[in-house]
């Protein structure tokens, strides 16, 4: 209690001197610049980490499924055929799968449109654009492999499930990225509002 009383006494005795002192010129601008730099670094690190973790999870899951299909006894030789298979999708199998495929492709396209909008607004760095383009290219390669499997085995439930899992994984990755970017954008706006109020 005595220390607290001493501190209070010291503050009360020097209240005028404490209230008169202003920070040096440019203090707030330097402080704001440092905060903005820290916020940008955190955003880049967190987005990069999320992209990598999501991609790793998705591709391990899908690679396992592809390996299972590849090594199953009734599918030997499918991957070694040199003939081009026609482009086939879930929509060509049944109307129910057509609805499911439409839902996923529409949702994925909406997420990609949002991503492209943020690119146009300058909210996405070139590194993040490159990383996302690489991820989408890997998804496209995987999709073509799944189409080949589906063309060879249109009624194989494992191939159909792999195709559905592909759509789910791609949508999940895009949703994670969009959600994280929305959070970062919201925090940035809140930070800007707070610094404007100061």
| Domain range annotation of the chain | 62-198
- Residue 79 confidence (pLDDT): 43
Sequence-distant (6+) residues with CB within 8 A of 67 are none
- Between 109 and 79, residue with greater pLDDT: 109
- Residue 80 confidence (pLDDT): 43
Using one digit for the tens of pLDDT, what is the confidence trace for 68-105?
666 555 544 444 444 444 467 888 888 888 888 899 99
Question: CB–CB of 164/96 below 8 Å?
Answer: no
Using one digit for the tens of pLDDT, what is the confidence trace for 1-60?
556 677 888 778 877 766 666 666 676 677 777 777 766 655 555 666 777 777 777 766
């Amino acid at each position: 209690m005595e220390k607290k009383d001493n501190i209070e006494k010291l503050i009360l005795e020097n209240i005028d001197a404490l209230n008169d002192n202003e920070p040096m010129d440019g203090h707030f601008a330097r402080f704001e610049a440092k905060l903005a730099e820290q916020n940008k670094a955190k955003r880049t690190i967190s987005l990069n980490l999320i992209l990598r973790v999501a991609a790793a999870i998705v591709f391990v899951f899908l690679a396992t499924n592809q390996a299972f299909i590849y090594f199953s006894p009734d599918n030997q030789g499918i991957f070694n055929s040199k003939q081009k298979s026609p482009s086939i999708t879930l929509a060509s199998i049944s109307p129910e799968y057509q609805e499911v495929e439409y839902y996923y492709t529409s949702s994925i396209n909406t997420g990609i449109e949002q991503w492209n909008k943020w690119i146009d607004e300058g909210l996405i760095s070139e590194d993040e654009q490159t990383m996302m383009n690489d991820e989408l290219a890997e998804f496209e390669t995987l999709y073509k492999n799944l189409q080949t499997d589906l063309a060879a085995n249109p009624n194989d439930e494992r191939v159909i499930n792999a195709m559905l899992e592909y759509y789910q994984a791609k949508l999940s990755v895009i949703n994670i990225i969009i959600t994280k970017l929305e959070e970062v954008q919201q925090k940035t706006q809140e930070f800007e509002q707070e610094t404007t109020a100061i």
